[in-house]
Amino acid sequence: MIRKAIIPAAGLGTRFLPATKSQPKEMLPIIDTPTIQYVVQEAVDSGIEDILIITGRGKRAIEDHFDRNVELEAKLEEKHDEQLWNEMRRLSDMANIHYVRQRETNGLGDAIYYAKQHVGNEPFAVLLGDTIMDSVIPVTQQLIDTYEQYQSTVIAVEVVPQDKVNRYGIVGGENLSETIMKLDSLVEKPSIESAPSNWAIAGRYVLSPEIFRAIEQTSKGKNGEIQLTDSLQILLRRESVYAHLIEGERHDIGNKLDFLKTTVKFALKRKEFSAPFLKFLKETLAEYE
């Protein structure tokens, strides 16, 4: 049973400057909900309530967001705004959230290593803090189900166009079914000609505790950082690693264009203004045409 989740959220968010100069990129809202709240909710919906968020300098807003704000609750109570009051209380009660600060940005592998003492000797989930999954069954739950079947590390993947494989970490191996691959390679941004498949790593993992020993033996790679993909290559030599083709849509909030696309898609799903917003989009497109 997977009882703990790690959410790395220590990146500097330089692609969103100046907005991220004084606030974490993980707190950038999709309409009215911070990105990281969607991520925490996914872990909770997957049955995990023990969550460790790896933060860094200038990330205090994340802790404040999931903490109680007694003054705000009192003000909402005075206004008899029961719906918002309940939502604020739910935020602080939704999970048992812990925090540890990554002292310097040394890559995703290094960030996950900070969870070693918290996790102990048990498997755990990893959900990247700037990636939202839109799915009927939570993607983390999908990985947990696969982990329980194979009792080994599972990586979430998605299909990407063949001519864009050089933008992603790509996995290769033996297809056990339409959605499961037993891996023999992980390649970071391969050339189009050499890519072992078009299954791209998608920001969710269920890892065995052996990953920590693999991280210890991982040399610094791109940008002088410890890359998780390199650690998974080491892990692959010791135990089986599987890829699970996710059912759902991944939204990468780490770049501006995808952030805009995600905002539009999520806005169209909101009943209170989906119709007028769609009308606005059509009118705007007509102007440009």
- How much is the pTM? 0.92
Residue 289 confidence (pLDDT) above 80: no
Q: Where are the domains of the chain?
A: 4-254
pLDDT at 40: 96
pLDDT band at 193 (very low <50, low <70, confident <90, very high): confident
Task: Return the DSSP state at 224.
Answer: G
Residues 251-281: tens digit of each pLDDT = 988 788 999 999 999 999 999 888 999 999 9
CA distances (Å), origin 113, targets 39, 51, 64, 218, 222: 20, 15, 24, 11, 18
Q: Is the dihedral of CA 220, 221, 223, 225 positive or negative?
A: negative
Cβ–Cβ under 8 Å, residues 204 and 128: yes
Of 106, 135, 95, nearest in space to 249 by CA: 135
pLDDT at 151: 94
Compute the distance between CA of residue 276 and CA of residue 289 in angstroms, rounded to an integer.
Answer: 20
pLDDT at 124: 97
pLDDT at 51: 97
pLDDT at 87: 86
Residues 49-62: tens digit of each pLDDT = 999 999 988 788 99
Residue 167 confidence (pLDDT) above 80: yes
Q: Which two tokens stand for residue 165?
A: 């494989």
Residue 15 confidence (pLDDT) above 90: no
Residues 16-46: tens digit of each pLDDT = 888 888 888 899 999 999 999 999 999 999 9
Q: What is the mean pLDDT of residues 198-221?
A: 93
Residues 95-107: tens digit of each pLDDT = 899 999 988 888 8
Considering only residues 221 and 5, tell me which one the structure prediction assigns the higher pLDDT.
5
**CATH architecture label of 4-254:** Alpha-Beta Complex (3.90)
Q: What is the mean pLDDT of residues 180-195?
A: 89
pLDDT at 69: 87
Q: What is the mean pLDDT of residues 182-188?
A: 90
Compute the distance between CA of residue 184 and CA of residue 171 in angstroms, rounded to an integer.
Answer: 8
pLDDT at 255: 85
Compute the distance between CA of residue 133 and CA of residue 137 in angstroms, rounded to an integer.
Answer: 10
